[in-house]
Structure formats: structure tokens, C-alpha cells
Amino acid sequence: MASIRKFIFHDLRTIDGYIDPPDALVFLSILESQRQRDLKGGIAEIGVFFGRSYFLIKKIAAPEEKVLAIDLFDLGNQSDGVPTQYQQFIDNGTRLGLTVDEDLVIVGDSTKLAANDIVDKVGELRFFSIDGGHMLSHVTADSHLAEGSLAKHGVIAFDDTFNPAWPEVTVGVADFLRESQQYSAFCMTKYKTYVCRNEFHADYLAAIADAPHLQAFDHVETEFLGAKVVRLHDPLPRRILHEIVNRLGLSAFSERVYR
């Protein structure tokens, strides 16, 4: 666990991306809890960017577990037909010692995929991170894709819920939960909302409450669409201290801020 926390607080900062320590620790806590309860399945992410959260997942997952990456990979100029975003993603994996299995990369529009396209590659999923297009049509398509490919015990992590810059993400997630009636939120952070099937809701609530990696956060109980949710609050003074430590080039010590 010490090596994974070092990875979260040091190595992840070397990759362009947006997942911050609170959500990285939630990813770790959920995936650990599933492993402890022998809840198996593949893992997938829509919206890889340069791989920050993807490589976090690869670091946490067992070597034999399959992790699927889905992205347009259309950023930057092309050289010899290879988009620079894709090449940098591959290079990041090589540098971190987390080599990307290119057979488990889908280059394309996630809204054009069917659930079988995912299940055929990695099996039913225990964890699905959604950080693709942020308009309502994208969130609707991606949430239905996740629903069709998720194992019964699977978790969906929706990015940028309640971000005022992307209001349609909030609408899309709320629509999915209200229309499905089979899923409910159990955890929220500043940036993400985590949902599961109703029959596993109490289990994941308990996993968040008991997770040793999350004890540094304020656990605030709230409700979302009738479901009990734990909101993990990261106080501003700690966020400022964490940033100062990193800007001083002391990232090796930044993990202590979140103990």
C-alpha cells in the first residue's frame, strides 16, 4: 500500500490529467474493497486523456486483470499516422513500468460502442470510469453503455458531476439514476459521483466509511435522489497545504498531508 500511495502522491503528477488525491484514494478504496470480497470483473475507462487515472487503475489492479482504455485520441498533430496524444499515452505507460496492452485500447467514439464491444474484450466490469464527452447526449450514451457492460456488483464513477462548467453532466447522471431505478449514488467528492446497483448500496457505503485511505476526509452524510450518500469533504486549508508542498518540490512528502 505504501508504494501505491507514493504512486498517487508523486508519480501521478508527472502525467497530464485531472484526478486529484481524494478521488485517487476513492478509486483505491473501492477496488481494494472489491478484491477483499472477491468481487471480480474487468475495468474500463472512457476518456483516458494522457492516462493519469488509467495508470492509477493499472497500478492498483492485479497483473492478470484486464483494463480497457477508450478515447478518441485525437489531440495534437499526427506523425506517421500516430496521434501525439496516443503516443504520449503509450510512452507514459512505458516510463511508469505499466505497459499498455494495445489490444485493450479502443480508439474511437464511445457513443458508437455497444456493451458487447467491451464485454468481449474484458468481460463484465467491476469498475467503469466515465470521463468522456460532457454534453447530455454523451453522458446518456456512456451511462447506458456502462449499464450494459457492468457486473451486478460493479461501480460507475461519473466525472465532473456538479461542475458548473459542465451542467449537462449533472442532468445526464440524474436522468440515468431516475430512469434506471436500479442504481443509486453512494459516494460523492468535489469532482465525481460513484454509483452502484441498489442491492450493493449498503456494502459500498460501508466500504467508504471503513476505508483507511479515506479517514483524513470529513464524511458528510447527504441524500441524492432518495439514496443515502457519503460526501467526502477535503477542507480548503489541506488542499492549499498540499499544493504548497508540491510547488516547493517536496512531492515526496505530500502524502503526509492526507494521513
pTM of the model: 0.93
- Are residues 56 and 7 in contact, defined by beta-carbon separation less than 8 angstroms? yes
Split into its structural domains, the chain has a count of: 1
CATH of the domain at 246: 3.40.50.150
Mean pLDDT within 158-165: 95
User: pLDDT (tens digit, 9 = 90+) per residue, 3-58?
Assistant: 888 899 889 889 999 898 899 999 999 999 999 999 999 999 999 999 999 999 99
What average pLDDT does range 150-170 have in this prediction?
Answer: 96
Parent domain of 103: 2-258
Vertex 214 angle, CA 210 and 191, to 5°: 125
Alpha-helical runs (H) found in the chain: 2-9, 21-36, 52-60, 84-96, 115-122, 136-149, 167-180, 201-210, 236-247
- CA dihedral sign of residues 150, 155, 156, 157: negative
Instruction: Please name the residue that has the C-alpha cell 477496488.
Output: 31
Q: Which triple of cell numbers denotes residue 241?
A: 497545504
Helix (H) or strand (E) holding 224: strand 218-224
Task: Report the alpha-carbon distance of residue 187 to residue 152 in Å, rounded.
Answer: 18
pLDDT band at 2 (very low <50, low <70, confident <90, very high): low
Average pLDDT, the chain: 92
pLDDT in tens, 100-136: 999 999 999 999 999 999 999 999 999 999 999 999 9
pLDDT above 70: residue 86: yes
